[in-house]
């Protein structure tokens, strides 16, 4: 038996779709407006997970430019037909409208980390599609959307048989089920002569759940179970909230598990918020005397710890990867832990790098094959920490008019005072090397050779090729391109060329990594010489274009002079500008003079729902860069609009006029836990 600790994939990893292939379990999760598209994780034992690649080319044209926040790829469904992986997904191009404007695509691959076929468009009834392989036949499941005035945006679950080769419809579309509550995310599993339809119920907020229906025929009629298989909606004391969107998977010994999404809220004066986003969890399942699936531990509530009948594998501590750069031996992580030099030889069997270590107090992050000359810092607390508790429901999915009334939730108080933590002492900033002035074209990017594929049923699989801008880095609406993110012009550094501002849906030069715990710290050394207020570069805590915190090097008028927009007359100064963006408003929180034009280290510490930005001065002394800021606004649960992603930490650059200003970054570190 193996003991797993939920969430097994921590931080922004929603809508998990899980499949078993030979000795490995694979999970695909939603990527929304982010690249890489459709991240894939794998595990040999359900407890320890590692990044296994992504569905490259999932977006035709490789661009989501113009797609709104929380649009893009929703709820991909992963399946295996005995020979190859299939993934089906919808690209949602309108959010908050009656139409959704979805395009549904199918892609296949013989290896999860291998080459995926060019996406082929199929019927697009709605979002959250799934494929079901049944005795050589292929079925498409989908949500039906009625956009008309007075129509239901969640108007039932439909199924269409597809030709396996052409993907053209075979016969009519069948209405499987309609329900008075919002249902979506259909998955099918066949057991003991029954087709079990597994549904996400109640919207993806605090009213979420998993409901099951069944039929003797794939096209129905379906009878609904009298109770949910999984939910946390009725118990505000549970540490795992928003539990829903599930998929049943059978283990080799015949036992069953349920993958599902969940969230870990913080309490705030404005209700519960989940800045980590929706995460991936797993529960053990049994079947009752009447043939319905039930959680093995009883009741519908998700459990933090679950025993599963897999062979335990050795654990590997892991954390987010750092920027390429010379290792700073004087830097100390916020929570002391082993450091792993990336670039060491890969062992014959890849070790799973994600999940929770052996006891509940230790929490790890999604792992990744490394980057040259970088350090991974494990973020392991010295003592077990209490689990975060939920809070009051916020936003269900759109048009969930039947959702139960909100209930008060008891939660960890994010506003409670805490004892100050000893500061992390970053090392001396790396001395700048030759610097190319703004406007210098980036150098060609070095290609990364793919690893030799191994058959998925083998437990011996190669590590993914190392890419300095690969996972855990993510980018908005397009993959990183050497024209704006270059790792070759200055070895050991990443050079970003500024483009659009941070509120753009088109071309924001941002590299970011998922924050996976409520305690986190990020820092980076940046060198830039802005000459106008339209140029900026720095460190960001990011949710979307309407919710972010940014500490940037930029230009300002001489002290005491009002903003006139006359930077071309010369003069002015380089400053650190701390900006808070919230839905409907942007404010400059602080402006701090920079004492030097050489490389400069800045950072942020996140704890108890508060972000504290700082700069590194002489002798490694941290100087606050402004007041404490509310980081819980970077969550699904804040604001008036639909929001489905999670908080990230990263680096960015802006040049609104010339699109030529460059900034160099090194030593990025993100530690969580």
Give the integer Cα–Cα distance in Å for 654 and 460.
44
> Residue 586's closest CA among 594, 576, 578?
578
Instruction: Copy the structure tokens of residue 100.
Output: 């959704």
Instruction: Copy the structure tokens of residue 553.
Output: 């090097």
Query: Mind giving me the DSSP string for 385-430?
Result: -PPP-------PSTT-TTPPPP------BTTS--PPPPPP---PPP
Residues counted in the chain: 673
Cross-strand pairs, 523: 603, 669
Q: Is 510 within 8 Å of 652 (Cβ atoms)? A: yes
Give the integer Cα–Cα distance in Å for 456 and 538.
41
352: helix, strand or coil = coil
| 108 Cβ neighbours under 8 A, 6+ residues apart | 84, 85, 86, 87, 116, 117
Give the integer Cα–Cα distance in Å for 417 and 428.
31
Give the integer Cα–Cα distance in Å for 190 and 436.
61
Burial degree of 668 (CB within 10 A; 0-12, 13-18, 19+): buried
Distances from the Cα of 129 to the Cα of 68, 78, 105, 268, 462, angstroms:
20, 10, 9, 35, 31
Active-site residue, selected from the candidate residues 15, 33, 161, 607: 15
62: helix, strand or coil = helix
Distances from the Cα of 313 to the Cα of 44, 351, 355, 358, 524, angstroms:
7, 8, 12, 11, 34
Q: What is the DSSP letter of 367?
A: B
| 10 Cβ neighbours under 8 A, 6+ residues apart | 276, 279, 354, 356, 363, 364, 365, 366, 516, 517
Beta strands in 85-156 (DSSP E): 85-92, 102-109, 120-122, 130-134, 137-143
Is there a catalytic annotation at residue 288?
Answer: no
> Residue 522's closest CA among 604, 610, 579, 580?
604
Active-site residue, selected from the candidate residues 184, 328, 552, 664: 184
Is there a catalytic annotation at residue 503?
Answer: no
Active site residues: 15, 184
């Amino acid at each position: 038996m193996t003991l797993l600790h939920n969430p097994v994939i921590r931080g922004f990893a929603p809508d998990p779709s899980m499949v078993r292939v030979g000795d490995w379990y694979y999970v695909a999760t939603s990527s929304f407006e982010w690249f890489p598209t459709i991240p894939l994780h794998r595990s040999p034992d359900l407890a320890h997970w590692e990044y296994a690649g992504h569905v490259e080319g999932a977006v035709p044209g490789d661009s989501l430019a113009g797609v709104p926040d929380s649009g893009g790829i929703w709820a991909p469904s992963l399946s295996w037909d005995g020979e190859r992986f299939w993934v089906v997904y919808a690209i949602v191009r309108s959010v908050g409208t009656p139409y959704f404007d979805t395009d549904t695509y199918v892609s296949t691959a013989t290896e999860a980390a291998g080459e995926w076929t060019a996406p082929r468009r199929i019927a697009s009834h709605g979002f959250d599609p799934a494929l079901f392989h049944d005795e050589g036949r292929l079925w498409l499941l989908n949500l039906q959307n009625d956009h008309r005035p007075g129509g239901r945006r969640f108007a039932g679950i439909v199924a269409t048989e597809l030709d396996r080769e052409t993907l053209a419809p075979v016969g009519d579309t069948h209405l499987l089920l309609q329900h008075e509550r919002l249902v979506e995310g259909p998955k099918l599993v066949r057991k003991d002569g029954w087709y079990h339809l597994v549904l996400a119920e109640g919207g993806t907020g605090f009213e979420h759940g998993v409901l099951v229906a069944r039929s003797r025929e794939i096209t129905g009629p379906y009878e609904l179970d009298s109770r949910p298989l999984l939910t946390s909606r009725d118990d505000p004391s549970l540490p795992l909230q928003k539990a829903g969107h599930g998929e049943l998977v059978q283990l080799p010994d015949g036992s069953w598990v349920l993958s599902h999404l969940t969230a870990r809220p913080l309490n705030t004066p404005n209700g519960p918020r989940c800045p980590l986003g929706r995460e991936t969890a797993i529960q053990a399942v049994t079947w009752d005397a009447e043939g319905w699936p039930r959680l093995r531990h009883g009741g519908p509530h998700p459990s933090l710890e679950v025993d599963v009948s897999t062979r335990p594998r050795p654990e590997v501590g892991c954390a987010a990867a750092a920027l390429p750069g010379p290792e700073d031996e004087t830097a100390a992580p916020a929570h002391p832990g082993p450091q792993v030099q990336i670039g060491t030889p890969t062992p014959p069997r890849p070790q799973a790098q994600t999940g929770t270590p052996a006891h509940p107090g230790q929490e790890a992050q999604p792992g990744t094959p490394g980057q040259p000359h970088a350090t991974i810092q494990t973020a392991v607390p010295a003592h077990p920490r209490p689990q975060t508790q939920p809070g009051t429901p916020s936003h269900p999915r759109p048009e969930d008019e039947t959702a139960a009334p909100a209930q008060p939730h008891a939660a960890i108080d994010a506003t409670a005072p805490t004892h100050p933590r000893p500061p992390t002492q970053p090392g001396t900033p790396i001395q700048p090397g030759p610097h190319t002035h703004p406007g210098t074209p980036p150098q060609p990017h070095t290609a990364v050779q793919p690893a030799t594929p191994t058959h998925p049923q083998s437990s011996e699989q190669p590590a993914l090729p190392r890419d300095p801008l690969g996972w855990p880095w993510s980018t908005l609406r397009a993959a990183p391109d050497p024209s704006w993110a270059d790792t070759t012009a200055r070895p050991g550094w990443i050079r970003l060329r500024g483009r659009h501002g941070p509120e753009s849906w088109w071309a924001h030069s941002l590299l970011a990594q998922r924050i996976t715990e409520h305690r986190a710290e990020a820092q980076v050394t940046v060198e830039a010489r802005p000459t106008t207020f339209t140029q900026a570069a720095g460190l960001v805590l990011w949710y979307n274009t309407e919710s972010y915190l940014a500490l940037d090097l930029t230009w300002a008028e001489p002290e005491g002079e009002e903003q006139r927009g006359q930077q071309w007359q010369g003069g002015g100064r380089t400053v650190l500008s701390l900006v808070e963006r919230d839905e409907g408003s942007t404010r400059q929180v602080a402006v701090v003079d920079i004492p030097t034009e050489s490389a400069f280290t800045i950072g942020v510490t996140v704890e108890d729902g508060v972000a504290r930005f700082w700069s590194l001065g002489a002798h490694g002394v941290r100087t606050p860069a402004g007041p404490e800021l509310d980081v819980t606004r970077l969550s699904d649960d804040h604001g008036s609009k639909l929001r489905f992603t999670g908080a990230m930490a990263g680096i960015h650059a802006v040049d609104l006029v010339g699109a030529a200003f460059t900034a160099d970054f090194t030593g990025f570190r993100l530690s969580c836990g």
